[in-house]
Structure 1
Amino acid sequence: MPIAGSSNGIVGRVGWLNGLPGVLLLGVALLLGAPAGAEDFPLRDKYASVGVPPVETEELAASLDAMAVVDARSRYEFETLHVRDAVSIPLASRDFDESVLALAEESGQPLVFYCNGVTCAVSYKAALKAKEAGVKDARVYDAGVFAWAQAHPEHTVLLGEPLQSVDRLIANEEFERRLLGEDAFYARIEASADPIIVDIRSKDQRQGVSLFQMRDRHVPLTNDNRELGGLVEVAMSENRPMFFVDATGKQVRWLQYYLEGQGVPEYWFLEGGASKIYESMGIQ
């Protein structure tokens, strides 16, 4: 089966996060053995002068026992897909400084931070924050988790199980099929008899503001999906469509694994998340 985003079968099933075209270009380079050019890593020039060297995919693969790999994304993202044996230390966590210092001391190894892809700056920000906290050797695997999954599925964990094959990853086309622009999203909600609208933003992101005239349920993503699972059961038993909005259209990519795993037949994501709605309202 092709990897996500391919029209010719060479690249297909892994593009996923922020900056998909760059991820796909990198995937081609990895799969076909072609060297990746600077244009594939748009953040490298920006961070070139801050003393955080990048680590290439095969360099990391050959040095897994000599480097401590850190997943700087949210815990939910980590639990969905991560590099095997990586340690989850979200950049946004309150104890980030203490955790990275403890890991550096305990492992005695360089810390290598990663996030979702070549345009995701979380890994660079995490490495810089680690250096400011006192970590002497902080590096970045800026190709991201999907490029890693393409190249080394045997060293990747999906939903708690070894990935083994990239065919288990959701195709980019399947994600895009569930995306609706703002007008289409609202129109489909209004055309539905009894929709279930779920705002998965965090409490801080939502700030008490409902974008759907209090018709939505606020259910932030958590690792156990317990509250969300109740709504999914209702939706499936009563044949009701589900509509999801996040902050910027990124979290829903990870949520889709859960929805597909539960067999939810009708669900839709707001393209660009709440930020698109605010943008159309002239709110920055």
Structure 2
Amino acid sequence: MAYTGMEGRNVRRRKRAMTGRLIGTAMLAATLAWLSPSAWATEDFPLREKYESVGLQPIETAELAETLDSVTVVDARSTYEYETLHIKDARSVPLASASFNATVKSLAEASGQPLVFYCNGVTCSVSYKAAIKAREAGLSRVRVYDAGVFAWAKAHPEHTTLLGAPLESADRLIADEQFQSHLLPEDDFYGRIVASTDPLIVDIRSQEQRQGVSLFQMRDRHVPLTTGNRELNGLVQTAMREGRPMFFLDATGKQVRWLQYYLEAQGAEDYWFLEGGARTLYESMGLK
């Protein structure tokens, strides 16, 4: 039906008012959904819902910053990751260490403070598993900083340590783009190795991960990251001096991200990582 004159103008005003109310309601609903704890738990922190069901309470970045003096922060990652980047004054207690239970109990008793465990980020479950293990060891005051070390470093670089020195600025963190620029899919990784005259190939997996198997027909050097950078340093410096490209293999494509901080600190440029690590090679061979 067509409306004319004053009646038409009134109908159009009512339609505009109704449309505005609908838009406003939709925006409000979206805002409330974004602000709701359940949305944060399932979208921004995918592990929270699973572990909150067993009574583990996460701590946010702002709260941790305000209570640093009244909690003991525990880095549950590997020693190598801790030595590369960690929250200032955090204690290194790797989840995989044989003395984990005894060490965390000793820390709790000595400080009289709650323990806050952290690892790499929102998809890393190491901090949650460490907190559960600590509770099983008899500790009740444990929390989890599940935002992880990168979120902390970006928010509080002044309270972050990089390679043994204050981070000072989040600009010193390696961006995803810089990491991706040194990451190669399997065919390109092998192609560069074949095209290189004298490449340095280094398997940085642990003894358990490597299981005595060379994936490069014994052309690679096995230098586990668990041994630190001392053994690796001689190989890297020689390769840089001789202009040899460097290729690094880890278990799943994640350890090399920490190795990159060391390589960049040494001024290395011609280095490459295998996307997905050894897992990619095993999958391409039909192995689990």
TM-score normalised to the size of structure 1?
A: 0.86
Corresponding residue number in structure 1 for 2:95: 91
| Alignment equivalent of 1:53, drawn from 46, 54, 57 | 57
| Alignment equivalent of 1:207, drawn from 195, 201, 211 | 211
Structure 1 CA distance, aligned partners of 2:149 and 2:90? 11
Q: For 1:145-164, what per-residue CA distance to the aligned partner results, in whole angstroms no more than 9, with x for missing partners? A: 00001111111111111111
Residue 187 of structure 2 is aligned to residue 183 of structure 1:
yes
Structure 2 CA distance, aligned partners of 1:62 and 1:253? 30
Q: For 1:94-150, what per-residue CA distance to the aligned partner results, in whole angstroms no more than 9, with x for missing partners? A: 100100110111111111000000000000010001111111111100000000011
The CA deviation at 1:211 is 0.6
- Please state whether the residue corresponding to 2:124 is helix, strand or coil: coil
- Please state whether the residue corresponding to 1:47 is helix, strand or coil: helix
- Please state whether the residue corresponding to 1:139 is helix, strand or coil: strand
Residue 163 of structure 2 is aligned to residue 153 of structure 1:
no
Bigger Rg over Cα: 2
Q: For 1:197-223, what per-residue CA distance to the aligned partner results, in whole angstroms no more than 9, with x for missing partners? A: 000000011000111111100001146
Residue 256 of structure 2 is aligned to residue 255 of structure 1:
no
Structure 2 CA distance, aligned partners of 1:224 and 1:42? 32
Structure 1 CA distance, aligned partners of 2:187 and 2:84? 30
Aligned residues: 252
- Please state whether the residue corresponding to 1:260 is helix, strand or coil: helix
Could you tell me which runs of 5 or more consecutive residues in structure 2 were left unpaired when the two chains were aligned: 1-34
Contact residue 223 and residue 231 of structure 2 kept, 8 A: yes
One-letter identity of the residue aligned with 1:189: I
- Please state whether the residue corresponding to 1:45 is helix, strand or coil: helix
Residue 59 of structure 2 is aligned to residue 42 of structure 1:
no
Structure 1 CA distance, aligned partners of 2:227 and 2:173? 19
Corresponding residue number in structure 2 for 1:174: 178
Contact residue 115 and residue 143 of structure 2 kept, 8 A: yes
One-letter identity of the residue aligned with 2:184: L
Structure 2 CA distance, aligned partners of 1:164 and 1:264? 22
Corresponding residue number in structure 1 for 2:220: 216
Residue 107 of structure 2 is aligned to residue 103 of structure 1:
yes
Could you tell me which runs of 5 or more consecutive residues in structure 1 were left unpaired when the two chains were aligned: 1-32
Contact residue 75 and residue 223 of structure 1 kept, 8 A: no
Corresponding residue number in structure 2 for 1:67: 71
Instruction: Please provide the CA RMSD for this pair.
Output: 1.6
**Which structure dedicates a bigger proportion of its chain to helix?**
2
Contact residue 79 and residue 223 of structure 1 kept, 8 A: no
Q: For 1:170-227, what per-residue CA distance to the aligned partner results, in whole angstroms no more than 9, with x for missing partners? A: 1211110000011111111001111110000000110001111111000011464111
TM-score normalised to the size of structure 2?
A: 0.85
Structure 2 CA distance, aligned partners of 1:59 and 1:244? 38
Structure 1 CA distance, aligned partners of 2:219 and 2:164? 34
Contact residue 72 and residue 89 of structure 1 kept, 8 A: yes
Contact residue 112 and residue 141 of structure 1 kept, 8 A: yes
Structure 2 CA distance, aligned partners of 1:85 and 1:223? 22
Corresponding residue number in structure 2 for 1:29: none
Contact residue 252 and residue 277 of structure 2 kept, 8 A: yes
| Alignment equivalent of 1:236, drawn from 237, 240, 245 | 240
- Please state whether the residue corresponding to 2:147 is helix, strand or coil: coil
Structure 2 CA distance, aligned partners of 1:131 and 1:282? 40
- Please state whether the residue corresponding to 1:50 is helix, strand or coil: coil
The CA deviation at 1:37 is 2.3
Task: Name which of structure 1's ranges 207-216 and 36-45 shifts more when overlaid on structure 2.
Answer: 36-45
Corresponding residue number in structure 2 for 1:143: 147
Aligned-pair identity (%) = 73
- Please state whether the residue corresponding to 1:283 is helix, strand or coil: coil
One-letter identity of the residue aligned with 1:85: D
One-letter identity of the residue aligned with 2:272: W
Corresponding residue number in structure 2 for 1:269: 273
Structure 2 CA distance, aligned partners of 1:40 and 1:261? 32
Structure 2 CA distance, aligned partners of 1:73 and 1:216? 26
